[in-house]
Chain A
Amino acid sequence: MNKSWMKRQSRLGYIFIGPNMLGVLLFFIIPAAYSFYLMFTDYKFMSPETHFIGLANIRRMLGDELFYVALKNTFVFLLAVPISIVLSFIVAVALNKSVYFQKTLRALYFMPYITSGVAVAFVWMLLFQPSSGPINGFLKGIGIAHPPGWLSTTGSSMYAIDIIWVWFMLGYNMIIYLAALQEIPEELMEAAKIDGARPWQIIRRIMWPLVSPTTFLLLITGLIMTIKNFGIIQAITQGGPGNSTTVLSLFIYQNAFRYYEMGYAAAISWALFVIIMIFTVLQWLGQKRWVHY
């Protein structure tokens, strides 16, 4: 009796997740499997003939200088994630206590996250304008004769993108941190205070370790989100100047939808997948050392 009830229940469960699973199957699993197949072909969109070419795409990728440039740029782009996490933790700690305009400030910090990416891109382009933009105007005003060219030189453009990205993610990370800080039992802080801990020590020894699961979450989601994102770069620099801001995801996009080289793009996609995989596995292994649940 009970058993058949269970059976019916589980059947019902499948019916409930059915529509969702169908979506995942149609729009994720099948395309992913298909792209795995494409990796071994010379398929070009709209081209009538497709041949199986074995590992040629992978060989081409490993011999492609641009692939390595994109890989390097991707790692520079990823720098934004830890920086943004540390900054947002500091902001969250500051805003966790009662300060003036606490609510307004929280809203202000969160604003970038809910603003349209293209609008953000255009505003930053104006700010970073090398000869007459406000940022370099300020830098010249305080006596720096040769401020950086920001987006307009190959050496600085990726770091300029990093600054935008840190600013963009700050609000989201901060909100998550604020929630985590609320969860820290008040007694622990009080006990520390009674023991004579300084504010810095409380932050370092109590708050930071206790929010470490949050940090871990933000790190993993942040890295994955960043490694996949290129919208902001496409809007601002299209990968230039030169190829100084071409990150892997943008490189894939260009190969697939600009040159219609679907097979080659599929191969790079899988390389990107492997990189994300390695990152995630490393973090899971590493978390035992510093994440305290």
Chain B
Amino acid sequence: MRNKKWLTVLTVCVLMLGVLSGCGGNNKANGGEGSNSGPVKLTMWGAVPPENGPQEVVDTWNTAHPDIQVEYVRFVNDDDGNLKLDTALSTGQNVDLYVNYTLTNLDKRVKGNIALDLSGYTDYNIDEKMGADAASWKVDDKYYGMPTKKNSFFFALNKEALDKAGLAIPTAWTWDEAREYAVKLKAEGFKYGLVQHTASLVDPLDSVLVKDGYVKADGTSNMDDPLVTQWLETLNGMMKDDLTTPPLGEQLTSKMPVENMFLGGESAMINIGEWLIRSSNNTTEFPRDFQIAFAPVPRLTGNEADFVKSGGLGDFISINSKSKNKDAAWEFLKWYADGGMLPMAAGGRLPSSNAVDQQTAIDHLLGDHADSYDKESLEFVLYNDKTPTFVRGIAQEIVDMRAQEYEKYFLGNQTAAETVQNMVKRHNDFLKLQGK
């Protein structure tokens, strides 16, 4: 009798499973038919909202190529979004192309064998087209995708305030000079001299550590580089003594809208990147009556020759190694990089391929708002500043633990020396764990 009960339970389970897997099977069959007859269908995953360019890009391509139809799917570039993409990739859902926004993410995907090694395609020389900066995206000396966008990080300045304070637009400067600028500009009637976007806030640290090494020759952490302490103390002074920049705790927990503060005239300078242009071109939402000038990010090191700045290339597009339409995806990718992506320039995404003329790119970037920018300094920051660049490639764990420690410092919970000590300790622990 007992056995029979179990038999019933089992039958029910099996029946349900049958029904469920039946559904799955049907879907697969449909997908297969679609790719056999009619045009090739590609799916591209990216994090830019479709209305900010990608839809126009895809539409242009689809009109010109009836045989290869591309569909754009947006994922949000945060933990959840990347997890969604990774899950889709590793469970074999239809993702043909996808955009990696950080080296850290790319690295995971290469290890998971879901990024196609592009060295099989010989009709496009990535190094030649994209320049020397492309090499920082190589994993094990191979391209598992193609960088398509120029990253630019800069200080945007309120030109009117600069003129009033009698300050020149810097073309190379140190954090000490930037700190003075902030004081003088604040005196022109601003709430803050400088606000910083959280994405570029920590760049000075990476700049130092990329140059001097994250890890010392003996394999231990190099987070106790004296310039790290200098960064901590400079910013802390600006937050607490000069009151020229918002305290970090306040900025983080109130999710301070720094772009709005700069464009709204509350702050005279902002440490940000090319995505500022998306907001600053939107004069209906962010009306402003001043020109924006641009300066390269300041350096911590006294010696200009030792400086590397955050930048390089971004929007690294990979082809799914399990894609059924790799060649079609490759065709699209080449077209996208060589100017197909131009509609996205209005959102700040400048093509990195030298197939795209600099002037065309800037025209797309500024649109009809060119008058509201100081063009000379913009061109300098985007193209003419020859400071070597880097792309941050350290593990998320290190980024996070570093942030936790400097947050504690800026909140006054620990001294700069303790902060550095804790960073070193936690970094060493992490290194040990990885080494095992």
Tell me if B201 is interfacial: C-beta within 8 Å of chain A.
no
Binding site for A on B (CB under 8 A): 1, 4-5, 8-9, 12-13, 16-17, 79-80, 83, 86, 90, 108-109, 111-114, 247-250, 252-255, 395-397, 400, 403-405, 407-408, 411-413, 433
Evaluate whether A60 and B433 lie within 8 angstroms (CB atoms) in the complex, with A149-B249, A241-B408 already known.
yes
- Residues from chain B with Cβ under 8 Å of A45 in the complex: 83, 86, 90
From the candidates B12, B254, B408, B411, name the one contacting A125 in the complex (CB within 8 A): B254
Q: Can you name 24 A-B pairs with beta carbons within 8 Å?
A: A14-B9, A14-B12, A15-B8, A22-B16, A45-B90, A46-B90, A60-B433, A128-B253, A130-B250, A130-B254, A131-B250, A154-B407, A154-B411, A154-B413, A155-B413, A157-B253, A237-B252, A240-B252, A241-B249, A241-B253, A242-B413, A243-B404, A257-B79, A260-B108
Most buried by B among A14, A237, A242, A243: A242
B325: min CB distance to chain A, Å: 22
- What's the least CB distance linking B183 to chain A, in Å? 20
Q: Which residues of A contact B408 (CB under 8 A)?
A: 154, 241-242
Shortest Cβ distance from A53 into B: residue: B436
Report whether A46 and B255 are in contact in the complex, using a CB–CB cutoff of 8 Å: no
Collect the chain A residues with CB atoms within 8 Å of residue B413's CB: 153-155, 242
Q: How far apart are A47's CB and chain B's nearest CB, in angstroms?
A: 6
Q: How far is the CA of A19 from the CA of B109 in the complex (A)?
A: 37
- Which of B1, B108, B253, B433 has the most A CB atoms < 10 Å from its CB? B253
Other than the given A11-B4, A242-B405, A257-B80, 19 more pairs (CB < 8 A) read: A11-B5, A14-B8, A15-B12, A18-B9, A18-B13, A22-B13, A22-B16, A45-B83, A46-B86, A48-B111, A60-B433, A129-B250, A149-B250, A152-B249, A153-B249, A240-B253, A240-B404, A241-B408, A242-B404
Contact digits for A200-243, partner B, Cβ 8 Å, 1 yes 0 no: 00000000000000000000000000000000000011001111
Known contacts A153-B411, A154-B411, A154-B413, A7 near B16 by CB under 8 Å? no
CB within 8 Å: A-B pair count: 109
CB distance from B309 to the nearest CB of A (A): 27
User: In the complex the two chains form, is A14's CB within 8 Å of B111's CB?
Assistant: no
A198 CB within 8 Å of chain B? no
Bound CA–CA A7/B90 (angstroms): 46
User: In the complex, which residues of chain A have a beta carbon less than 8 angstroms from the beta carbon of B83?
Assistant: 45, 257
Bound CA span A196–B86, Å = 70
Q: Which residues of B contact A126 (CB under 8 A)?
A: 254
| A94 located at the interface, meaning its Cβ lies under 8 Å from any Cβ of chain B in the complex | no
The residues in A between 177 and 200 inclusive whose CB is less than 8 angstroms from any CB of B are none
The answer on a CB contact under 8 Å between B411 and A129 is: no
CB of A10 closer than 8 Å to a CB of B: yes
- Are A11 and B8 in contact, with the CB atoms below 8 A? yes
A25 within 8 A of B: yes
Within 8 Å of chain B (Cβ to Cβ): is A151?
yes
Question: Would A25 and B13 count as touching, CB distance under 8 A?
Answer: yes
Complex-state Cα separation, A151 to B397, whole angstroms: 23
A155 to B250, CA, bound (A): 14
- Among residues of A, the one whose C-beta sits closest to the C-beta of B246 is A131
Residues of A within 8 A of B405 (CB): 242
**Contact A125/B253 with A11-B8, A14-B8, A240-B407 known, Cβ cut-off 8 Å:** yes
Residues of A within 8 A of B112 (CB): 46-48
A258 within 8 A of B: yes
Shortest distance in angstroms between A184's beta carbon and chain B's nearest beta carbon?
A: 44
Of residues B13, B113, B254, which shows the largest number of chain A Cβ atoms within 10 Å of its Cβ? B254
Query: How distant is A163 from chain B, measured CB to nearest CB, in Å?
Result: 14
